[in-house]
Homo-oligomer: A and B are copies of this chain.
Amino acid sequence: MRLCAVILAGGRGERFWPLSRRSRPKQLLPLLGDRPMLTLTIDRLDGLIAREDVWIFTARDLAPQVLEAAPGVPAAQVIGEPVGKNTAPALALAAWWLKDLGKDAVMVVLPSDHRVEPAQRFREDLERAAGVALERGAIVTFGIPPTRPETGYGYIEAGGAIAPGSPFHAVSAFREKPDLATAARYAADGKHLWNAGIFVFPPDVLLEEMRAHCPDIAALLPGMPLRPGEGSSAALERFYGAAPAISIDYAVMERSKRALVARADFAWDDMGSWASLATEDSVGPDGNVVRGTAILHDCKDVIAFSDGGLVAGVGVENLVIVRTRGVTLVCRRDRAQEVRAIVERLKERKDLDGYL
Q: Is the CB of A328 within 8 A of B315?
A: no
Which residue of the partner chain B has the closest CB to A317? Answer: B332
Q: Is the CB of B293 within 8 A of A352?
A: yes
Q: Is the CB of B310 within 8 A of A327?
A: yes
The smallest beta-carbon distance between A276 and chain B, in angstroms, is 16
Q: Is the CB of A314 within 8 A of B297?
A: no
Q: Is the CB of B310 within 8 A of A355?
A: yes
The smallest beta-carbon distance between A324 and chain B, in angstroms, is 9
Tell whether A339 is near chain B: CB-to-CB under 8 Å: yes
Q: Is the CB of B328 within 8 A of A321?
A: yes
User: For the complex, what is the distance from the CA of A306 to the CA of B355, rounded to whole Å?
Assistant: 14
Q: Beta-carbon contacts of A312-345 to B below 8 Å, as 1s and 0s?
A: 1111100101010111111110011011011001
Which residue of the partner chain B has the closest CB to A334? Answer: B315
- A residues 1-21 with Cβ under 8 Å of B? 18
Q: Is the CB of B306 within 8 A of A332?
A: no
Which residue of the partner chain B has the closest CB to A318? Answer: B316
Tell whether A309 is near chain B: CB-to-CB under 8 Å: yes
Q: Most chain-B Cβ atoms within 10 A of its Cβ — which of A306, A328, A339?
A: A328
Tell whether A48 is near chain B: CB-to-CB under 8 Å: no
Given contacts A297-B341, A345-B297, A327 and B314 within 8 Å (CB-CB): no
Given contacts A295-B346, A341-B297, A328 and B306 within 8 Å (CB-CB): yes
Q: Is the CB of A323 within 8 A of B328?
A: yes
Which residue of the partner chain B has the closest CB to A343? Answer: B312
Residues of chain B with a CB closer than 8 A to A346's CB: 295
Tell whether A311 is near chain B: CB-to-CB under 8 Å: yes
Partner of A312, one of B18, B311, B314: B18
The smallest beta-carbon distance between A261 and chain B, in angstroms, is 36
Partner of A345, one of B295, B316, B330, B338: B295
Q: Most chain-B Cβ atoms within 10 A of its Cβ — which of A309, A321, A325?
A: A309
The smallest beta-carbon distance between A284 and chain B, in angstroms, is 16
User: For the complex, what is the distance from the CA of A231 to the CA of B338, rounded to whole Å?
Assistant: 64
Q: Is the CB of B295 within 8 A of A342?
A: yes
User: For the complex, what is the distance from the CA of A349 to the CA of B314, rounded to whole Å?
Assistant: 17
Interface residues of A (CB under 8 A from B): 18, 293, 295, 297-298, 306, 309-316, 319, 321, 323, 325-332, 335-336, 338-339, 341-342, 345-346, 349, 352, 355
Q: Which 6 pairs across A and B sit closest by C-beta, in order of nearness?
A: A314-B331, A315-B332, A315-B335, A323-B328, A328-B328, A310-B327
- Beyond A314-B338, A316-B331, 14 additional contacts (C-beta under 8 Å) are A295-B342, A295-B352, A297-B342, A306-B328, A309-B327, A310-B327, A310-B355, A312-B329, A312-B339, A313-B330, A314-B339, A316-B319, A316-B330, A321-B330
What are 11 A-B residue pairs whose CB atoms fall within 8 Å in the complex?
A306-B328, A309-B325, A311-B328, A312-B327, A313-B330, A314-B332, A314-B336, A314-B338, A315-B332, A316-B331, A323-B323
